């Protein structure tokens, strides 16, 4: 028996991690693909005239088991990978890509879809059904359904190559990250670094059977070193190693892979009738066109750059007092922290005892209860893929004031979701933080099937003496990912492919970035910023300083994000330039307007820019800034009415629960009463 091909008998049909063996994956994918193909055949061979129900709806619900197996496998490949899993991924990805191409280019299936699409008026569809029909039709066209047979084959091959090369890109970055570590044997080299971080480095050395201390390129190790280490030579060495990730000409180098990926994307776009890959992508975004994105990014650049330059001048003046005449990028975090401490008397290490992970999690749980009526119950009976993972059953509390016509108890709790949380770095986990889904929400046969959502982070592990203590930036990271999780958990749509975060890509960051705003509100901070030993609330003056420091280095951070967005957009509109340029030259050309420090010829960020070369942000990195306009405007509305105002929260809950069932601008206007204004972001950022 292969557990992945069976109906799961676990609580809430959760993923049976404890029963899955690596050797199950490949045969399971092959069997489930066959099963899904039979479901497609049944749609095609239906003798009845194509209708919305027997074609569009049937297709939306097909392949459910295959989707679940894919979610399990690829989520594990990001959070708990191994050499064996990575090898399986190389085998599985082309099989899945081939299956996907086979479906999306199936002429008989598309003919049925087109027939329904061409006669949509006669079906009297509701708004969600019409959205599903439009998205299904467009999805097939954008996957090559209108191409001739020869071009369909070309597109299929391109898609398979893209799938494998994207996977390889990510594997190279992970391997390159893991390949480097700095073994420190003299404690004086760690001067300036807080004792708790030094203990962490000692633990890392112990795990590697080494004396002394070990610093790695994993964020919880690397960032504190760059922030606090007084040893400038070592900061330079670490920064150089980080900047060389997959850019050193070695086994894990990604430079050629970048060119191959971009050429494949360009070929795909041209086959489908687009000038470039950005045109192809942005047709399905709120922004609509590369010109609009570049104009948006340049407008922000013009407004933010004077602030950024002023911030850097302040840092350079501080560095000069240490005898540094030409400040470098590897000095930034160190002097920014010094300046922050001088300006706001804030120090990450000083704040960390007030932000133990469990406490911060309880705060975000409490906020979800206050705004959206959600409660969280830890469960020990649900399988996990690693002992560090915790699983919560999420309930929704019906409002006491609601009158329920069927006479049921309005205070009863409704099962809403399963939430997995995985907080600490491991060798098999990629860097960063993300939210993902093991199972989407949908409604079928009278049942509202609830989602299984996961948050994955890389926070400092607890030691034998202290719990996991978060920097304030890590606090905002947890709130950010939880915003995504809320989008998934509150989903309440009919169809799985319109559920939760299945929205336009430049809309998806709104809930996550919106939730971060609460971290800076004194009224809310006071409820959970408490010392893990004494229970003492973070003093008022520190809370006030956190609120004041919200925009600290905002100009620098804005330019950094704009640099990523501009580079991404140019990679996906001007790929031809790479025929005569190295990746490094291209990167320098298109980020120089946003660079505030000298470029180092030995480093480049593109070869580890996983968001656009492995993840889903190709021609979409601008969406972080785009969504910042949305979140600044949305939170401004909350502030006008009170940050815990139940009516405003109820309207935002409708936006979250609607997923992709409506045009995002319509959803936003229904919530806010007007379109978002870029002035809201500029006012928040620069006053």
Has residue 403 got a pLDDT over 70? no
Average pLDDT over residues 21-32: 96
From residue 667, alpha-carbon distances to 135, 548, 663 in Å are 17, 32, 6
The pLDDT value recorded for residue 401 is 41
Has residue 400 got a pLDDT over 50? no
Over residues 308-327, the pLDDT tens digits come to: 999 999 999 999 999 999 99
Coil, strand or helix at 592: helix
Q: Do 631 and 514 meet the contact criterion of CB atoms below 8 Å apart?
A: yes
Residue 414, phi then psi, degrees to nearest 5: -110, 135
Has residue 674 got a pLDDT over 50? yes
Listed residue (290, 289, 287, 169) closest to 613, CA to CA: 169
Q: Using CA atoms, how far apart are residues 165 and 298, in angstroms rounded to an integer?
A: 31
- Which tokens is 446 given? 């009278």
Has residue 408 got a pLDDT over 50? no
From residue 387, alpha-carbon distances to 127, 530, 614 in Å are 44, 27, 27
The pLDDT value recorded for residue 109 is 97
Over residues 117-133, the pLDDT tens digits come to: 999 999 999 999 999 99
The pLDDT value recorded for residue 99 is 93
The pLDDT value recorded for residue 640 is 95
Listed residue (78, 104, 90, 106) closest to 161, CA to CA: 90
Average pLDDT over residues 576-599: 96
- Which tokens is 50 given? 């194509």
Over residues 675-685, the pLDDT tens digits come to: 998 888 988 88
Q: Do 490 and 657 meet the contact criterion of CB atoms below 8 Å apart?
A: yes
The pLDDT value recorded for residue 346 is 83
Has residue 404 got a pLDDT over 80? no
Has residue 107 got a pLDDT over 90? yes
Which residue has 């996906």 as its token pair? 572
Torsion sign across C-alpha atoms 231, 233, 236, 238: negative
Q: Using CA atoms, how far apart are residues 635 and 513, in angstroms rounded to an integer?
A: 10
Mean pLDDT of the chain: 94
Q: Which of 57, 337, 481, 587 is catalytic?
A: 481
In the DSSP assignment, the letter for residue 464 is: S
Average pLDDT over residues 261-267: 98
Has residue 295 got a pLDDT over 90? yes
Q: Do 389 and 509 meet the contact criterion of CB atoms below 8 Å apart?
A: no
Q: Model confidence at 398, in pLDDT bands (50, 70, 90)?
A: low
Q: Do 423 and 470 meet the contact criterion of CB atoms below 8 Å apart?
A: no
Q: What is the DSSP string of 186-222?
A: -GGGGTTS-HHHHHHHHHHHHHTT-SSEEEESSHHHH
Has residue 411 got a pLDDT over 60? no
The pLDDT value recorded for residue 96 is 93
Has residue 518 got a pLDDT over 60? yes
Of all residues in the chain, the percent with pLDDT exceeding 90 is 89
User: CB 423: neighbour CB atoms within 10 A?
Assistant: 22
From residue 152, alpha-carbon distances to 34, 98, 111, 112, 156 in Å are 21, 12, 16, 19, 6
Q: Model confidence at 412, in pLDDT bands (50, 70, 90)?
A: low
Q: Tell me the residue length of the chain.
A: 687
The pLDDT value recorded for residue 615 is 83
| CA 586, chain centre distance (Å) | 26
Q: Using CA atoms, how far apart are residues 458 and 524, in angstroms rounded to an integer?
A: 25
Question: In degrees, to the nearest 5, what angle opens at C-alpha 276 toward C-alphas 272 and 279?
Answer: 85
Has residue 687 got a pLDDT over 80? no
Q: What is the CA radius of gyration of the chain?
A: 25
The pLDDT value recorded for residue 380 is 96
Has residue 110 got a pLDDT over 50? yes
Q: Which long-range contacts (CB under 8 A, 24 or more apart) does 558-562 make?
A: 558/300, 558/304, 558/307, 558/308, 558/625, 558/685, 559/301, 559/304, 559/305, 559/308, 559/594, 559/596, 560/594, 561/624, 561/625, 562/297, 562/300, 562/301, 562/304, 562/594, 562/625
Q: Model confidence at 354, in pLDDT bands (50, 70, 90)?
A: very high
User: For 384-515, where are the E strands, in sequence order?
Assistant: 390-397, 413-422, 434-439, 442-444, 447-449, 452-456
- Which tokens is 398 given? 């019906």
- Which tokens is 276 given? 């470039």
The pLDDT value recorded for residue 686 is 86
Highest mean pLDDT among 57-61, 612-616, 675-679: 57-61
Has residue 337 got a pLDDT over 60? yes
Over residues 198-251, the pLDDT tens digits come to: 999 999 999 999 999 999 999 889 999 999 999 999 999 999 999 999 999 999
Q: Model confidence at 616, in pLDDT bands (50, 70, 90)?
A: confident
- Reduce the secondary structure of 3-56 to three states and give it as a string: HHHCCCCCHHHCCCHHHCCHHHHHHHHHHHHHHHHHHHHHHHCCCCCCCHHHHH
Over residues 137-194, the pLDDT tens digits come to: 999 999 999 999 999 999 999 999 999 999 999 999 999 999 999 999 999 999 999 9
> What residues contact residue 601 under an 8 Å CB cut-off, 6+ apart?
584
pTM: 0.83
Which residue has 């996961």 as its token pair? 454
Whether 481 sits among the annotated catalytic residues: the reply is yes
In the chain, count of helices (H) and strands (E)?
A: 27, 9
Of all residues in the chain, the percent with pLDDT exceeding 70 is 98
Average pLDDT over residues 1-22: 96
Looking at 382-439, list the stretches that DSSP marks H as alpha helix, in order from N- to C-terminal side. none
Looking at 345-386, list the stretches that DSSP marks H as alpha helix, in order from N- to C-terminal side. 348-351, 357-372
Q: Domains in the chain, ordered, with CATH?
A: 3-104+106-146 (1.20.1050.40), 180-243 (no CATH)
Q: Do 492 and 448 meet the contact criterion of CB atoms below 8 Å apart?
A: yes
Q: Using CA atoms, how far apart are residues 686 and 637, in angstroms rounded to an integer?
A: 18
Over residues 539-570, the pLDDT tens digits come to: 999 999 998 888 999 999 999 999 999 999 99
Has residue 399 got a pLDDT over 60? no
Over residues 642-664, the pLDDT tens digits come to: 999 999 999 999 999 999 999 99
Q: Do 300 and 625 meet the contact criterion of CB atoms below 8 Å apart?
A: yes
């Amino acid at each position: 028996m292969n557990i992945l091909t069976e109906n799961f008998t676990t609580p809430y049909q959760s993923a049976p991690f404890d029963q899955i063996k690596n050797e199950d994956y490949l045969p399971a994918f092959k069997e489930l693909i066959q099963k899904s193909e039979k479901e497609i055949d049944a749609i095609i061979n239906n003798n009845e005239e194509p209708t919305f129900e027997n074609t569009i709806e049937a297709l939306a619900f097909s392949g459910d088991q295959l989707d679940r197996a894919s979610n399990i496998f690829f989520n594990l490949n990001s959070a708990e990978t191994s050499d064996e899993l990575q090898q399986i991924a190389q085998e599985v990805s082309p099989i899945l890509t081939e299956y996907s191409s086979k479906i999306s280019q199936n002429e008989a299936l598309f003919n049925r879809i087109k027939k329904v699409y061409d006669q949509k008026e006669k079906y009297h569809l509701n708004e969600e059904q019409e959205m599903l029909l439009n998205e299904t039709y467009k999805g097939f066209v954008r996957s090559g359904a209108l191409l001739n047979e020869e071009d369909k084959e070309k597109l299929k091959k391109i898609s398979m190559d893209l799938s494998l090369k994207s996977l390889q890109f990510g594997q190279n970055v992970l391997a390159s990250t893991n390949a480097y570590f700095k073994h420190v044997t003299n404690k004086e080299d760690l001067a300036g670094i807080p004792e708790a971080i030094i203990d962490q480095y000692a633990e890392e050395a112990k795990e590697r059977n080494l004396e002394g201390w070990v610093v790695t390129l994993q964020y919880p190790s690397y960032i504190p070193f760059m922030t606090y280490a007084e040893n400038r030579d070592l900061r330079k060495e670490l920064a150089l190693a980080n900047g060389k990730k997959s850019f050193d000409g070695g086994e894990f180098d990604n430079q050629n892979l970048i060119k191959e990926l971009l050429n494949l994307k360009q070929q795909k776009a041209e086959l489908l009738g687009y000038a470039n890959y950005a045109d192809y992508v942005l047709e399905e975004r709120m922004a609509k066109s590369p010109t609009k994105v570049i104009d948006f990014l340049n407008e922000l650049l013009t407004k933010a750059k004077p602030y950024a330059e002023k911030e850097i001048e302040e840092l350079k003046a501080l560095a000069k007092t240490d005898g540094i005449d030409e400040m470098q990028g590897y000095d930034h975090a160190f002097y920014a922290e010094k300046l922050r401490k001088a300006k706001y008397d804030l120090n990450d290490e000083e704040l960390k005892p007030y932000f133990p992970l469990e406490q911060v999690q309880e705060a975000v749980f409490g906020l979800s209860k206050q705004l959206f009526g959600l409660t969280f119950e830890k469960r020990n009976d649900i399988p996990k893929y690693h002992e560090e993972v915790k699983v919560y059953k999420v309930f929704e509390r019906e409002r006491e004031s609601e009158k329920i016509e069927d006479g049921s108890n309005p205070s009863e709790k409704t099962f809403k979701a399963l939430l997995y949380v995985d907080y600490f770095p491991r060798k098999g986990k990629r860097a960063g933080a993300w939210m993902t889904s093991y199972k989407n929400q949908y409604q079928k046969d009278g049942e509202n099937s609830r989602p299984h959502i996961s948050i994955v982070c890389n926070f400092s592990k607890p030691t034998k003496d202290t719990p996991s203590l978060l920097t304030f930036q890590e606090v905002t990271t947890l709130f950010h990912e939880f915003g995504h999780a809320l989008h998934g958990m509150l989903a309440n749509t009919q169809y799985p492919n319109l559920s939760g975060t299945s929205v336009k890509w430049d809309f998806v960051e709104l809930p996550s970035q919106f939730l971060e705003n609460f971290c800076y509100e004194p009224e809310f901070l006071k409820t959970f910023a408490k010392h893990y030993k004494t229970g003492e609330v973070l003093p008022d003056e520190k809370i006030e300083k956190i609120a004041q420091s919200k925009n600290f280095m905002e100009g620098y951070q804005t330019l950094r994000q704009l640099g990523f967005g501009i580079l991404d957009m140019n990679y996906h509109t001007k790929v031809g330039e790479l025929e005569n340029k190295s990746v490094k030259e291209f990167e320098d050309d298109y980020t120089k307007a946003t660079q505030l420090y000298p470029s180092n010829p030995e480093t480049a960020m593109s070869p580890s820019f996983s968001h656009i070369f492995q993840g889903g942000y190709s021609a979409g990195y601008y969406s972080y800034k785009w969504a910042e306009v949305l979140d600044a405007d949305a939170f401004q509305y909350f502030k006008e009415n009170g940050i815990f105002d139940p009516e405003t929260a109820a309207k935002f809950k409708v936006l979250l629960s609607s997923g992709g069932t409506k045009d995002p601008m319509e959803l936003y206007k229904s919530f806010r009463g007007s379109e978002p204004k870029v002035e809201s972001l500029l006012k928040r950022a620069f006053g």
